[in-house]
Amino acid sequence: MTTRKLLVVATAPIDGETLRREVREHTGGDEAEVRIVAPAADLSRLEWLAGDEDEAREEAARVAGDVSEALDEDAPVEAEIGDPDPAQAIEDALRTFEADELVLVGPPQSEAGWLEQGGLDDAVERLGLPVTRLETRPR
């Protein structure tokens, strides 16, 4: 039995059952190792320019904890707060975690913040990994 490595990048909380079902589907019953990265992306441009990330990092910590708890019983899970730029957070995580697949958890594109929209698709395409997008309820 092989171990699948999933990198879950979450900018918003998601229903635990939905995420567990997705992980089981993508691992095909094999063992899974999951790393959760919650980018501190809930920033305005002004907050980003001023380096005022405290509230965004607190929210990211809540998201990481919620997502981690939802998966904890199904697979070994590590959770961390990532760079405010989701594309950079993914690249940073992949330096130490060789994922087989990405699962992007966030709001619908129409509700996404400016950091979530900026260049994420290009970065993901460049990586060449299979990607699953899970939309959360609008904020």
**What is the C-alpha to C-alpha distance for residues 8 and 37, in angstroms, rounded to an integer?**
6
For residue 45, what are the domain limits?
3-135
User: What is the 3-state secondary structure of 19-59?
Assistant: HHHHHHHHHCCCEEEEEEEEECCCCCHHHHHHCCCHHHHHH
> Mean pLDDT, to the nearest integer, of 2-19?
82
Q: Which of 79, 83, 80, 57 is nearest to 68 (CA)?
A: 79
pLDDT of residue 98: 92
Of the pLDDT bands very low, low, confident and very high (cuts 50, 70, 90), residue 115 is very low
CATH number at residue 37: 3.40.50.620
pLDDT of residue 10: 85
In tens, the pLDDT along 40-96 reads 876 655 655 666 677 887 888 888 888 888 776 656 688 898 888 888 889 999 999
Percent of the chain surpassing pLDDT 70: 71
pTM score, whole prediction: 0.79
Of the pLDDT bands very low, low, confident and very high (cuts 50, 70, 90), residue 118 is low
Total domains in the fold of the chain: 1
> Mean pLDDT, to the nearest integer, of 7-15?
83
pLDDT of residue 114: 44
pLDDT of residue 70: 76
